[in-house]
């Protein structure tokens, strides 16, 4: 069974280049969004606690099966831990045998940025070189790279309530060709902005942006609202926008639209990509992204293909293989003398 550990994932991303990977993965995602109806579309299985959530995200296209284990614990950084960690598994549907296992903490950041880039390809305005960003935590650098790869974004106006997170963001991207302006507030960051990304982590129904903060007709890439009771936008922004989602059933539970009526109209992104729905009617556009298993399936398949036969992957002995498939006990050998 092929395995990619954290160190090898980091080496592969560093040596290949995160922006190049995000750009290429965006294309892989578009191919799978075009065949979205071929996949099982089961909402993720979430176990919530007062401090966070642990989730399983499964899907299959009938030939391969994949799932991701992922947590979301906003209080973890105070203890020196990541807010989000993950690993993923792929398996052969015909035998049930797992074929690939990988770290997915780094990989999830890449696929989230690639999903944002894919949505922007179809929904965001062109000829814009500046993006406002609210939240400069673990996802932020990847989002910036993904939007540059897709839209040519070169200028960033950023705000975070944590000055250390902002300093980290500036340090990490300062030498990568961006012009970065640190704003005094969220409202200041988004003033006049036509493209906005929100990626905050607090587990609360927050409103990091108010309705009057947002320029009419702006494109909002809202990725921070990703579990029940956790949102980022003033509900009026959402109510008066054209809203696009990944999987409606899941997003009504976890996304910005959880604060809207149960029949609030949304459009699933795959329908736009397949030409079955328009990309918007000229109003403010919100991509209400919570992440979906088909994206993780795509990311795992992408990495498996990229690292097979390279030094970034290793084989692990995870599945028992007795000489006689009906004699599992025989693998134990003779008893040890007393």
Contact of 244 with 33, CB cutoff 8 Å: no
The DSSP H or E segment spanning 147 is: helix 140-151
What is the rounded distance in angstroms from the CA atom of residue 196 to the CA atom of residue 134?
Answer: 8
Radius of gyration of the chain (CA): 21
Contact of 292 with 246, CB cutoff 8 Å: yes
What is the rounded distance in angstroms from the CA atom of residue 225 to the CA atom of residue 247?
Answer: 14
Query: Is 92 part of the annotated catalytic residue set?
Result: no
Q: Which of 102, 147, 84 is nearest to 297 (CA)?
A: 102
Contact of 244 with 297, CB cutoff 8 Å: no
Neighbours of 260 (CB within 10 A): 17
Catalytic residue among 160, 226, 234, 288: 226
What is the rounded distance in angstroms from the CA atom of residue 314 to the CA atom of residue 262?
Answer: 47
**How far is residue 17 from each of residues 106, 110, 277, 301, measured CA to CA in Å?**
13, 11, 34, 18
Residues with catalytic roles: 226
């Amino acid at each position: 069974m092929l395995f990619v550990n954290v160190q090898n994932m980091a080496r592969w991303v560093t040596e290949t280049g995160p922006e190049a990977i995000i750009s290429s993965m965006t294309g892989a995602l578009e191919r799978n969004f075009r065949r979205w109806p071929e996949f099982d579309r089961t909402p993720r299985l979430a176990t919530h606690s007062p401090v966070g959530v642990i989730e399983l995200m499964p899907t299959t296209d009938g030939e391969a099966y994949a799932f991701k284990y992922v947590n979301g614990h906003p209080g973890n950084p105070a203890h020196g831990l990541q807010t989000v960690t993950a690993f993923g598994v792929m398996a052969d549907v015909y035998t049930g045998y797992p074929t690939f296992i990988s770290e997915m903490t780094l990989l999830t950041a890449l696929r989230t940025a690639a999903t944002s880039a894919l949505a922007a390809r179809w929904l965001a305005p062109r000829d814009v070189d500046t993006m406002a960003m609210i939240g400069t935590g673990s996802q932020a650098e990847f989002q910036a790279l993904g939007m540059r790869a897709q839209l040519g974004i070169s200028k960033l106006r950023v705000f975070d309530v944590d000055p250390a997170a902002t300093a980290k963001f500036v340090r990490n991207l300062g030498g990568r060709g961006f012009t970065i302006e640190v704003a005094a507030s969220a409202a200041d960051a988004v003033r006049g902005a036509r493209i906005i990304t929100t990626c905050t982590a607090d587990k609360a129904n927050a409103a990091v942006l108010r309705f009057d903060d947002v320029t009419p007709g702006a494109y909002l890439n809202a990725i921070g609202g990703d579990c029940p009771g956790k949102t980022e936008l003033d509900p009026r922004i959402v109510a008066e926008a054209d809203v696009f989602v990944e999987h409606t059933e899941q997003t009504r539970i976890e996304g910005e639209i959880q604060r809207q009526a149960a029949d609030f109209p949304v459009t699933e992104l795959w329908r736009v990509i397949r030409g079955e729905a328009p990309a918007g009617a000229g109003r403010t556009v919100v991509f209400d992204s919570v992440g979906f298993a088909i994206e993780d399936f795509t990311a795992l398949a992408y990495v498996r293909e990229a690292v097979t036969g390279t030094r970034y992957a290793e084989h692990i002995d995870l599945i028992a293989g007795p000489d006689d498939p009906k004699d599992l006990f025989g693998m134990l050998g003779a008893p040890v003398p007393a």
